[in-house]
Amino acid sequence: MPELPEVETIRRTLAPHLEGRTITGTEVMTPASLRGLSPEEFRSQVIGRAIEGVHRRGKYLLFNLGERLFMVVHLRMTGRLVLDGPADRHTRVSFRLDSGTSLQYVDVRRLGGIYLLKMVVRGEEVSLPSGRPRPGRAVPEGLLNLGPEPLSPSFSLDYLREGCHSRRVRIKALLLDQSFVAGIGNIYADEALFRARIRPDRRACDLQVTEVEALFEAVRAVLREAIEKRGTTFSDYVDGRGRAGGFREELAVYGRYGEACRRCGGELARAKVGGRTSTYCPRCQV
Ligand SMILES: [Zn+2]
Protein backbone atom coordinates (compact mmCIF):
# COMPACT_ATOMS: atom_id res chain seq x y z
CA MET A 1 0.00 0.00 0.00
CA PRO A 2 1.47 3.35 -0.90
CA GLU A 3 2.26 5.50 2.11
CA LEU A 4 3.03 9.22 2.35
CA PRO A 5 6.35 9.17 0.40
CA GLU A 6 4.86 7.15 -2.46
CA VAL A 7 1.72 9.27 -2.77
CA GLU A 8 3.83 12.43 -2.53
CA THR A 9 6.08 11.12 -5.32
CA ILE A 10 3.05 10.45 -7.51
CA ARG A 11 1.80 13.97 -6.78
CA ARG A 12 5.14 15.48 -7.78
CA THR A 13 5.21 13.45 -11.00
CA LEU A 14 1.69 14.44 -11.98
CA ALA A 15 1.54 18.09 -10.95
CA PRO A 16 3.63 19.66 -13.75
CA HIS A 17 1.59 17.84 -16.38
CA LEU A 18 -1.85 18.51 -14.91
CA GLU A 19 -1.79 21.92 -13.23
CA GLY A 20 -3.43 24.59 -15.32
CA ARG A 21 -4.83 22.03 -17.76
CA THR A 22 -8.49 21.59 -18.57
CA ILE A 23 -10.23 18.22 -18.53
CA THR A 24 -11.76 17.81 -21.99
CA GLY A 25 -13.08 14.28 -21.62
CA THR A 26 -13.43 11.36 -19.27
CA GLU A 27 -14.41 7.75 -19.71
CA VAL A 28 -15.66 5.55 -16.90
CA MET A 29 -15.01 1.85 -17.50
CA THR A 30 -15.83 0.75 -13.95
CA PRO A 31 -18.64 2.81 -12.38
CA ALA A 32 -17.97 1.17 -8.97
CA SER A 33 -14.62 2.98 -8.83
CA LEU A 34 -16.57 6.23 -8.54
CA ARG A 35 -17.75 6.58 -4.96
CA GLY A 36 -21.09 8.19 -4.26
CA LEU A 37 -21.83 9.43 -7.76
CA SER A 38 -22.88 8.10 -11.14
CA PRO A 39 -20.68 8.21 -14.26
CA GLU A 40 -23.07 10.79 -15.75
CA GLU A 41 -22.85 13.04 -12.70
CA PHE A 42 -19.08 12.63 -12.62
CA ARG A 43 -18.70 13.57 -16.29
CA SER A 44 -20.95 16.59 -16.02
CA GLN A 45 -19.03 17.83 -12.96
CA VAL A 46 -15.46 17.42 -14.23
CA ILE A 47 -15.50 18.00 -17.99
CA GLY A 48 -14.55 21.57 -18.83
CA ARG A 49 -12.93 22.20 -15.47
CA ALA A 50 -9.30 23.22 -15.07
CA ILE A 51 -7.04 21.45 -12.58
CA GLU A 52 -5.85 24.33 -10.42
CA GLY A 53 -3.57 22.26 -8.21
CA VAL A 54 -2.57 18.73 -7.24
CA HIS A 55 -2.36 18.27 -3.47
CA ARG A 56 -1.87 15.44 -1.04
CA ARG A 57 -3.28 14.81 2.41
CA GLY A 58 -2.10 11.65 4.17
CA LYS A 59 -2.39 8.91 1.57
CA TYR A 60 -5.00 10.79 -0.50
CA LEU A 61 -4.42 12.73 -3.71
CA LEU A 62 -6.57 15.83 -4.09
CA PHE A 63 -7.13 17.50 -7.45
CA ASN A 64 -8.40 21.06 -7.08
CA LEU A 65 -11.04 21.61 -9.77
CA GLY A 66 -11.93 25.12 -8.66
CA GLU A 67 -14.88 26.50 -6.68
CA ARG A 68 -13.79 24.31 -3.76
CA LEU A 69 -14.55 21.16 -5.74
CA PHE A 70 -11.90 18.46 -5.32
CA MET A 71 -11.47 15.11 -6.99
CA VAL A 72 -10.09 12.85 -4.27
CA VAL A 73 -8.23 9.69 -5.29
CA HIS A 74 -7.53 6.99 -2.75
CA LEU A 75 -5.19 4.44 -4.30
CA ARG A 76 -5.36 1.86 -1.47
CA MET A 77 -3.59 -1.42 -2.41
CA THR A 78 -3.30 -1.53 -6.19
CA GLY A 79 -4.50 1.84 -7.48
CA ARG A 80 -2.20 3.72 -9.87
CA LEU A 81 -2.38 6.96 -11.80
CA VAL A 82 -0.66 6.77 -15.16
CA LEU A 83 0.23 9.65 -17.47
CA ASP A 84 0.09 8.95 -21.20
CA GLY A 85 0.23 5.20 -20.61
CA PRO A 86 -0.86 2.48 -23.03
CA ALA A 87 -4.40 1.13 -22.70
CA ASP A 88 -4.65 -1.18 -19.68
CA ARG A 89 -7.42 -3.68 -19.08
CA HIS A 90 -7.51 -2.60 -15.44
CA THR A 91 -8.14 1.07 -16.30
CA ARG A 92 -11.23 2.14 -14.35
CA VAL A 93 -11.47 5.81 -15.28
CA SER A 94 -9.53 7.78 -17.89
CA PHE A 95 -9.15 11.50 -18.55
CA ARG A 96 -8.11 13.60 -21.51
CA LEU A 97 -6.65 17.07 -21.10
CA ASP A 98 -6.50 20.04 -23.45
CA SER A 99 -2.72 19.53 -23.71
CA GLY A 100 -3.26 16.14 -25.32
CA THR A 101 -2.07 14.39 -22.16
CA SER A 102 -4.07 11.43 -20.88
CA LEU A 103 -4.42 10.24 -17.31
CA GLN A 104 -5.62 6.77 -16.38
CA TYR A 105 -6.78 5.54 -13.05
CA VAL A 106 -5.78 1.86 -13.04
CA ASP A 107 -6.75 -0.45 -10.19
CA VAL A 108 -6.32 -4.22 -10.47
CA ARG A 109 -8.17 -5.14 -7.28
CA ARG A 110 -10.62 -2.22 -7.37
CA LEU A 111 -10.15 -1.41 -3.68
CA GLY A 112 -9.35 2.24 -4.29
CA GLY A 113 -11.79 4.89 -5.43
CA ILE A 114 -12.48 8.36 -6.76
CA TYR A 115 -14.63 10.87 -4.90
CA LEU A 116 -15.86 14.38 -5.72
CA LEU A 117 -16.02 16.53 -2.62
CA LYS A 118 -16.34 20.15 -1.60
CA MET A 119 -13.28 20.98 0.48
CA VAL A 120 -11.81 23.91 2.36
CA VAL A 121 -8.45 25.36 1.32
CA ARG A 122 -6.32 27.21 3.90
CA GLY A 123 -2.93 28.03 2.44
CA GLU A 124 -1.25 24.70 1.72
CA GLU A 125 -3.74 22.74 3.80
CA VAL A 126 -6.83 21.21 2.25
CA SER A 127 -9.45 19.69 4.51
CA LEU A 128 -13.06 18.65 4.59
CA PRO A 129 -15.44 21.28 5.92
CA SER A 130 -16.15 20.70 9.59
CA GLY A 131 -19.47 19.21 10.51
CA ARG A 132 -21.19 16.39 8.76
CA PRO A 133 -20.75 15.95 5.01
CA ARG A 134 -23.69 16.41 2.70
CA PRO A 135 -25.99 13.39 3.00
CA GLY A 136 -25.82 10.91 0.16
CA ARG A 137 -22.32 11.91 -0.83
CA ALA A 138 -19.68 9.22 -0.18
CA VAL A 139 -16.70 10.49 1.78
CA PRO A 140 -13.61 8.37 2.47
CA GLU A 141 -13.94 7.54 6.14
CA GLY A 142 -10.25 8.10 6.76
CA LEU A 143 -10.42 11.65 5.43
CA LEU A 144 -13.07 12.64 7.96
CA ASN A 145 -10.74 12.33 10.89
CA LEU A 146 -7.21 12.75 9.62
CA GLY A 147 -4.36 13.78 11.91
CA PRO A 148 -1.67 16.34 11.09
CA GLU A 149 0.82 15.94 8.26
CA PRO A 150 4.04 14.60 9.82
CA LEU A 151 6.23 16.98 7.78
CA SER A 152 4.17 20.06 8.61
CA PRO A 153 4.56 22.34 11.65
CA SER A 154 1.27 21.03 13.06
CA PHE A 155 3.07 17.76 13.84
CA SER A 156 5.39 19.14 16.51
CA LEU A 157 7.50 17.55 19.20
CA ASP A 158 4.97 18.81 21.74
CA TYR A 159 2.15 17.18 19.83
CA LEU A 160 3.95 13.83 19.74
CA ARG A 161 4.99 14.08 23.39
CA GLU A 162 1.45 14.90 24.47
CA GLY A 163 0.02 12.13 22.27
CA CYS A 164 2.38 9.50 23.66
CA HIS A 165 1.97 10.63 27.25
CA SER A 166 -1.81 10.19 27.23
CA ARG A 167 -2.04 6.84 25.43
CA ARG A 168 -1.47 3.29 26.57
CA VAL A 169 -1.49 1.84 23.03
CA ARG A 170 1.66 0.33 21.54
CA ILE A 171 3.82 2.99 19.91
CA LYS A 172 3.67 1.23 16.53
CA ALA A 173 -0.13 1.26 16.64
CA LEU A 174 -0.09 4.97 17.48
CA LEU A 175 2.14 5.76 14.47
CA LEU A 176 -0.24 3.79 12.23
CA ASP A 177 -3.30 5.59 13.59
CA GLN A 178 -4.19 7.98 10.75
CA SER A 179 -6.26 10.13 13.07
CA PHE A 180 -3.13 10.74 15.17
CA VAL A 181 -0.70 11.37 12.31
CA ALA A 182 -1.45 11.12 8.58
CA GLY A 183 0.28 9.03 5.96
CA ILE A 184 2.47 6.61 7.93
CA GLY A 185 1.99 2.89 7.23
CA ASN A 186 3.80 -0.31 8.09
CA ILE A 187 7.01 0.42 6.19
CA TYR A 188 7.83 3.83 7.63
CA ALA A 189 6.58 3.03 11.14
CA ASP A 190 9.04 0.11 11.33
CA GLU A 191 11.86 2.18 9.86
CA ALA A 192 11.31 5.13 12.18
CA LEU A 193 11.16 2.91 15.27
CA PHE A 194 14.42 1.21 14.28
CA ARG A 195 16.15 4.57 13.89
CA ALA A 196 14.80 5.74 17.21
CA ARG A 197 15.87 2.41 18.82
CA ILE A 198 12.38 1.77 20.18
CA ARG A 199 10.68 -1.62 20.11
CA PRO A 200 7.37 -1.51 18.26
CA ASP A 201 5.46 -3.09 21.15
CA ARG A 202 6.40 -0.50 23.79
CA ARG A 203 3.48 1.38 25.24
CA ALA A 204 3.38 4.98 24.03
CA CYS A 205 2.97 6.31 27.57
CA ASP A 206 6.09 4.46 28.74
CA LEU A 207 8.49 6.22 26.34
CA GLN A 208 11.15 8.43 27.92
CA VAL A 209 11.42 12.09 26.91
CA THR A 210 14.63 11.41 24.97
CA GLU A 211 12.98 8.50 23.16
CA VAL A 212 10.06 10.64 22.05
CA GLU A 213 12.55 13.22 20.77
CA ALA A 214 14.45 10.53 18.87
CA LEU A 215 11.21 9.21 17.41
CA PHE A 216 10.11 12.67 16.32
CA GLU A 217 13.37 13.18 14.44
CA ALA A 218 13.32 9.63 13.04
CA VAL A 219 9.77 9.88 11.65
CA ARG A 220 10.52 13.08 9.81
CA ALA A 221 13.96 12.01 8.58
CA VAL A 222 12.79 8.67 7.23
CA LEU A 223 9.85 10.24 5.38
CA ARG A 224 12.05 13.00 3.90
CA GLU A 225 14.67 10.51 2.74
CA ALA A 226 12.03 8.22 1.26
CA ILE A 227 10.51 11.12 -0.70
CA GLU A 228 13.97 12.00 -1.95
CA LYS A 229 14.38 8.41 -3.19
CA ARG A 230 10.88 8.51 -4.74
CA GLY A 231 9.35 5.98 -2.36
CA THR A 232 9.59 2.23 -1.82
CA THR A 233 8.42 -0.31 -4.39
CA PHE A 234 7.53 -3.81 -3.22
CA SER A 235 4.83 -4.91 -5.63
CA ASP A 236 2.42 -2.44 -7.20
CA TYR A 237 3.61 1.04 -6.46
CA VAL A 238 5.03 3.08 -9.35
CA ASP A 239 5.00 6.83 -9.89
CA GLY A 240 2.92 8.62 -12.53
CA ARG A 241 5.42 7.62 -15.21
CA GLY A 242 5.55 3.94 -14.27
CA ARG A 243 8.89 4.19 -12.46
CA ALA A 244 9.65 2.19 -9.30
CA GLY A 245 10.81 3.90 -6.11
CA GLY A 246 14.41 3.70 -4.94
CA PHE A 247 14.04 3.54 -1.16
CA ARG A 248 13.80 -0.25 -0.98
CA GLU A 249 17.60 -0.56 -0.91
CA GLU A 250 17.68 1.85 2.04
CA LEU A 251 15.28 -0.10 4.25
CA ALA A 252 16.90 -1.13 7.53
CA VAL A 253 14.22 -3.48 8.86
CA TYR A 254 10.99 -3.60 6.82
CA GLY A 255 10.91 -6.74 4.66
CA ARG A 256 14.24 -7.92 6.14
CA TYR A 257 13.05 -10.43 8.76
CA GLY A 258 15.76 -13.01 9.47
CA GLU A 259 18.46 -10.90 7.84
CA ALA A 260 21.32 -9.19 9.66
CA CYS A 261 20.74 -5.88 11.42
CA ARG A 262 22.69 -3.17 9.60
CA ARG A 263 23.72 -1.67 12.91
CA CYS A 264 24.72 -4.62 15.14
CA GLY A 265 24.80 -7.61 12.80
CA GLY A 266 22.24 -9.53 14.89
CA GLU A 267 19.25 -11.29 13.34
CA LEU A 268 16.12 -9.18 12.81
CA ALA A 269 12.99 -10.46 14.53
CA ARG A 270 9.32 -9.96 13.87
CA ALA A 271 6.19 -9.68 15.97
CA LYS A 272 2.52 -8.84 15.52
CA VAL A 273 1.76 -5.42 16.94
CA GLY A 274 -1.72 -3.99 16.59
CA GLY A 275 -2.55 -6.69 14.04
CA ARG A 276 0.39 -5.77 11.79
CA THR A 277 3.64 -7.64 11.28
CA SER A 278 6.56 -5.62 12.59
CA THR A 279 10.21 -6.26 11.93
CA TYR A 280 12.75 -4.99 14.44
CA CYS A 281 16.15 -5.64 15.95
CA PRO A 282 15.82 -7.20 19.43
CA ARG A 283 19.31 -5.92 20.31
CA CYS A 284 19.23 -2.34 19.03
CA GLN A 285 15.62 -1.58 19.91
CA VAL A 286 14.61 -1.50 23.55
ZN1 LIG B 1 20.69 -4.35 15.70
SS3 115: strand
CATH number assigned to the domain comprising residue 59: 3.20.190.10
| pLDDT score, position 135 | 57
pTM value is 0.94
Measured in Å, residue 198 CA sits from the centre of ligand 1 at 11
- Report pLDDT for 133: 61
Active site residue 59: yes
Verify that 118 and 21 share a domain, yes or no: yes
**pLDDT at 109 (0 to 100):** 93
188 and 67 in a common domain? no
Residues 269 and 184 reside in one and the same domain: yes
Give 236-258 as a 3 state SS string. CCCCCCCCCCCHHHHCCCCCCCC
Catalytic residue among 59, 80, 172, 256: 59
CA of 148 to the centre of ligand 1 (A): 31
Which string of b and e fits 37-68 if b means at least 16 CB within 10 Å?
A: bebeebbebbeebebbbbbbbbbbbbbbbeee
Ligand 1 mean position to 15 CA, how many Å?
A: 40
84 with 184, same domain: the answer is no
For residue 148, is it within any domain? no
For the question of residue 148 being annotated catalytic, the response is no
A 10 A CB-CB count for 141 gives 8
**Assigned domain for 146 exists:** no
Distance 129 CA to ligand 1 centre (A): 45
What domain range includes position 225? 157-280
Which residue would you say has higher pLDDT here, 15 or 86? Answer: 15
Domain presence at residue 250: yes
Q: Does residue 109 carry a catalytic annotation? A: no
**Nearest residue to 23 via CA among 3, 37, 53, 43:** 43
How many structural domains is the chain composed of?
A: 2
Q: Is 211 a catalytic residue?
A: no
Top-ranked range on mean pLDDT: pick from 135-139, 177-181, 233-237, 273-277: 177-181
